[in-house]
Each structure stands twice: as structure tokens, then as C-alpha cells.
Amino acid sequence: MPDHFQLSLDTAPYKGTLSLNTGLFINGEFVDGIEGQKVDVTNPTTGKTITSVCAGTSKDVDVAVEVAYKAYKTSWGLKVPGSTRGRILYKLADLVQEHGKEIMALEVLNTGKPWSIARDIDIKNSIDVLRYYAGWADKVHGKTIETTENKLAYTRHEPYGVVGVIVPWNWPLMTLLCKIAPALATGNTVVAKPSEITPLTALKLAGMLSQAGVPPGVVNIVNGYGPTVGEAMSHHPLIRKISFTGSTLVGRRIQEASAKSNLKVVSLELGGKSPNIIFDDANIEQAVKWASMGVFLNKGEACIAGSRIFVQEGIYDAFVKALGNVGRSFDAATGDPFSPGTVHGPQASKVHFERIMGYIEAGKSGGATLICGGERRGNDGYFVKPTVFADCTPDMKIVREEIFGPVASVIKFKTEEEVIEMANDSTYGLACGLFTENSSRAIRVAHALEAGMAFVNSYGNTDISVPFGGSKQSGFGRELGAYALDTFTQVKAVHINIGQKL
């Protein structure tokens, strides 16, 4: 039997015992991995191991897919009415809310994100997305199509069957549920792989599934590494659909695996290097606040981070000074993620911390002007000071490559035409932002920028009812909103002859 993890916490926001099973979750129960492998889970605030969880292999993926396929055929899919699937998702949302503080504590412990972020974004959106798709579960309809009097033609939106879900480590539970909720609402069964860095809240969720009424095998959680578990899922012939959030490099591998296996449908939400444009007629105070949140929120570990900040020359100096002051205020509020006053925590892992520090050194040596930050904070854990570079040029490494950390690159521009060209000069196209009081310019520039999402006079304030996704090498397919239902269904056309004779 797999181990049971317990830890007592005595912090201001959470006092109590954290508890979860550390096994793989397959066919409604926790089990050991077939080959007995383990992976250590680290607290990024201290750099110390929290616990170890079971790590699956391709053999465990085979078992999980087989039971998911059986569950789809016998106890889920279109055999279960949408209204019933919806009630189960509502119940799961209630359970997540009931255990919300413990889930938040696990997320903070495992990711290093401040408690306020786990409370206001992670847990809130996790509950909301479950309830949103619970409401959709009995409202996925096809259309009746008029052709001739001798034919009845209509469409059905049918589930794929077994869906593979692979999620990253920056928003572990929220990203998982943004995929699982619409997948279940539309009748699919799921085999999910959480990040090996942050698996704890996925395992906590697994322990609630049976209580919510999810039949055994409908949702399976296989912890493990991408090159083993993720690779096996991507090649598995019974998985008909993969939904992946993560790096562009891994997204390419998943697409390649699809081509080499069963041509499974793939949706990808990948990297970003999003531009945020500040015109000189913008409300500079609001622009600085939104831009700082756009790059420093969640320690900069956000795919839509607006880390390329273009500022028109008339307000450039004032903006850079103000942004540097905000960066220093974030630095002053850095510390224990459980502390109520903390707004900036450690990076999620040692490997990622070292990667960010490498980019900061590239910025220093590449000719950018360091305004604030630019170094490690303290000696324990993986803390990086919020960093602002000014006098950046479009060819710099820190401008072109995704850093995925609290590092802003500020570039000066003169004209609207010039900044559109610079902003679009990227392999990525996930999000973009712009600040201006000119409504015509706002619409014109939002339409001209090559991105799946555009924010005007704000940044990053997404909503679960609005589609989320990118263009170019930031991926394809949409999550959230009604558009996600299309991602997890396939359309069947039915032709019924009611009078035509040969």
C-alpha cells in the first residue's frame, strides 16, 4: 500500500494537519507504482524535501488507460446523462470548497506561492471552474440542419473517450481542473499527469473523487516524469485526445507522438513572451500597477506574463522609475509564503531558480540597464528579487526568450506602427496588453497584435467564461468558456432518410 503523508502546520492562515495519500490513483483507489519508483517533492521556501510520492511508468499508464476506457464504455460517457455528470461536478466543487484551506496550504507548501495568491486565484478559480462546467454538462447540444423534405439531418457533439491531461507546476490544481471539468462534463474519462514538481494538490483532489460520486476509473492520476509517463500517454493508442499545458518544446514532442501513434487530437497551451504596450496617453499610475502585476504575479511563473514592456518615449523615464519602485516594494514584501504580508515567494524549484538567474546574468552582460533586483534574495530557498531591466533592445536574449520568472524587460518606442512590428516579432503569440486612453487606437492595436488574448487598460485579468489560449508557437485550442467544450468533443453528422426512394 502507498504511504500516507501527514504534516502539522502552525501558521497564521492555516493551523492543522495536512494529509494525503502519496500513491497513484487508478480505478478509484490509491496504489503503488508497478516498478516501485518514487519522486521527492520539495518545499521551495527551504529547499528541503516535503515527502516522496509514487512515480509511475508506462506500465502504470497502460493500466490507467485500460480502466479509463472500460469506465467510459460502462459507467460514464453518454451512458450517464449530462444532468448527472453536472451534479457530480457540483458535489466535487463543494468538497474542494470544504477542504479549501488544506488545499491552499498544500499548494503554498509545494509551489512557494503566497497564501493570498492561492486563496484569491488558485482555490477560487478551481471551485468556480467546476461549477461553471457542471452547469454546462446538460447543455451540450448539436443542431438540426434543414436540407430537403426527404431527409432529417442533425449533429451530435460526442466525447472522444479517454482523454490524456498533462499539466505544469505553476498553477497545479487550477490548471488540472480547467481540463478535467470540461472533459468530464462532456462525457470523457481522464488519465492525468500532474507535474512531478507539484503533485500534492492533485493527489488531494483524487481523494475526494469517490466521495463526489465519480465512478472508479473515470479520473485517474498517474504521477511521474514527462519522459516516462507523459511520453507513454502521448503514444497510447486508446487515448484519443491530449490536452497539454507546458513548454513549447514538450508540445512539439506530443504532436510528434500523436503523428507516430494514432493521430490523437492535441490541444496545446504553451509558452509565451507577451508584449505589454504603454502609450504616452495612458494613465501611467494604473499602467504601472497592471504591468507590475503582469510580470511579478505568482513570482513571474505565469505563461501570459507581460514581460516585454514597450513604453512610448514621452513617458519612458517616468514609467521605468515607477516600475522600479514597484519592484522594490515587491522585494520588501518577499518572505515566508504563509505570512499574511508576503506578496512574493520563492521560485518553484532549484532548476528553475538557476535558469532565471542565468537569464538575469545574460541581461547584465548583454547591455541592459539594471533598475532593481538582479540577484538572489537570502541564502535559503529559491528566492529571486523582482528584477527590472531598462534600455533593452528587441534582439536581446532576455527580450526574445521566455524567462518564466520575475524579470521585466522595458523597451522604448516612438510610433504605433513601430511598436506593433516589434511586438509581433516573436515566435510566441499567447497574450498581449496595451494601455491608452484613445479608444480607436485601443481597438486598432488589439486587432493588429498577433496573440490569442488581448488586454486593454488591464493585464492578465482572465475570466473562466472567456476562452484562454494562444497562436503561433504558443499553441492552439482553447480552454475556459464555452469554447473548451469544443476542445473535448467531436461532431458527428447524422443523415436520416425519411422519404427519398431510388
Q: How many residues does the chain have?
A: 502
How far, in Å, CA of 464 to CA of 126, rounded? Answer: 10
Whether 173 and 201 have beta carbons less than 8 Å apart is answered as yes
Nearest alpha-carbon partner for 277 in 146, 124, 445: 445
Nearest alpha-carbon partner for 289 in 304, 303, 276, 302: 276
Question: What string of DSSP letters covers 488-500?
Answer: TEEEEEEEEESS-
Strands 144-145 and 151-159: antiparallel
Q: Is 366 helix (H, G, I), strand (E, B) or coil?
A: coil
Nearest alpha-carbon partner for 113 in 338, 377, 379: 338
Task: Characterize 97-118 residue by residue with b for buried, 16 or more Cβ atoms within 10 angstroms of its Cβ, and e for exposed.
Answer: eebbbbbbbbbbbbbbbbbbbb
Nearest alpha-carbon partner for 415 in 405, 423, 404: 423
Rounded to 10 deg, the angle between the 416-424 and 439-448 helix axes is 30
How far, in Å, CA of 231 to CA of 226, rounded? Answer: 6
CA 134 to chain centre: 20
User: C-alpha distances in angstroms, 94 versus 206, 245, 490?
Assistant: 14, 26, 30
How far, in Å, CA of 458 to CA of 11, rounded? Answer: 33
Residue 54 CB contacts under 8 Å (≥ 6 apart), including other chains: 2, 22, 23, 24, 31, 32, 33, 37, 38, 39, 223
How far, in Å, CA of 199 to CA of 106, rounded? Answer: 10
Cα angle: 260, vertex 78, 98; to 5 degrees = 95
Question: What string of DSSP letters covers 52-95?
Answer: EEEE--HHHHHHHHHHHHHHHHHTSGGGS-HHHHHHHHHHHHHH
In this structure, which amino acid lies at residue 254?
I
Q: Is 198 helix (H, G, I), strand (E, B) or coil?
A: coil
DSSP symbol at 41: E
How far, in Å, CA of 327 to CA of 390, rounded? Answer: 13
Catalytic residue numbers read 269
